[in-house]
Homo-oligomer: A and B are copies of this chain.
């Protein structure tokens, strides 16, 4: 067992967890989100791709039900004492074994919170859960219980986030050293991700976004790498990741001579980022942050080229995405409070002229202005 935080940190988390379970009038929580399990116990795996449940009682008792391949994983990475294994069989699902485990914990028949809003519980498994436990207690959606506890980071977590942010900055430098006319995107990606791995960092919750030419206007990963032209644009959106804690960064790098549109959009992106920073303070909402971004861009006539969201919370996150709630979109009432780690991305994609320009970085919120976690300059990066 090798935990990444000390005993006191986990004790504080578990006290907050059980207090929250009790405050909601629940007898226990059925965790399906790997993020919740990792936060509460250190349990670190991608075994959530199969049915897996960590049941926690209001009194703090817990037991994990997982597949055989994760038995040792739980023992090596978490402090969960009670780990049970369900076995693949053509004729039986794991929910019956879950019910047995809940009975042992004294939770069967009780009022149980369920994490339905997670990739750790597919719709199929959710239906099996609802059917298998029907009439054997009350199931309540409690998907937001642990995220509400996770969204404000402890000092120990902030130290990991700072490490992740340093990995991100270093990874950008490693990528820049490979970017030039004629360079292969694949080598840029190898340098960027390799820099993070070599320093002990992790895979990101989603693939690094890398695209050039027309594909610089994309903000998702796609298969198929390209050779950079003499005049080109390369969009990179990535995260330094330390102990699964993310610090994201985004830049569009210009190769060769910047087009006037690049310069124009870059100025607009910086304007919007500055506006976002003024709104990223206690007393304001996530919707306010989005509005600041949208107003700055729309005032420059760029409404058609921006997205309907401009960032989100970050934390210790597993695939398929590093994006966490709350997100910066219109009318989101979630409040900005100190100790959050928030990624703000100013994305301008002008399909008419085929021009991309993106600037984004992560912040730690404070009682006043947010602290940027990146040491990188915001100036337009130009190579060659």
Contact = CB atoms under 8 A, between A and B. Distances in A.
A363 interface: no
Interface of A: 2, 4, 32, 44-49, 67-70, 72-73, 76-77, 87-91, 114, 116-119, 121-127, 129, 141, 143, 184, 186-187, 189-191, 193-195, 197-203, 206-208, 214-215, 217-225, 242-244, 287, 307-309, 318-321, 323, 327, 329-333, 349, 351
Given A186-B198, A194-B190, A222 B44 contact: yes
Q: Assembly of this chain: how many copies?
A: 2
Contacts of A67: 308
Nearest to A309: B88
A203 B207 contact: yes
A63 to B, nearest CB: 19
Contacts of A68: 307-309
9 contacts: A46-B221, A88-B308, A89-B331, A118-B123, A186-B199, A190-B193, A190-B195, A191-B194, A223-B242
Given A72-B351, A320-B320, A220 B331 contact: no
B45 A220 contact: yes
Given A46-B320, A194-B193, A349-B72, A122 B124 contact: no
Contact of A76 (B206, B214, B225, B319): B214
B194 A88 contact: no
A224 B197 contact: no
A46 to B, nearest CB: 5
A46 B190 contact: no
Given A49-B321, A186-B197, A203-B207, 7 more contacts: A70-B220, A76-B215, A116-B124, A124-B126, A186-B198, A193-B197, A194-B197
A359 to B, nearest CB: 16
Nearest to A189: B197
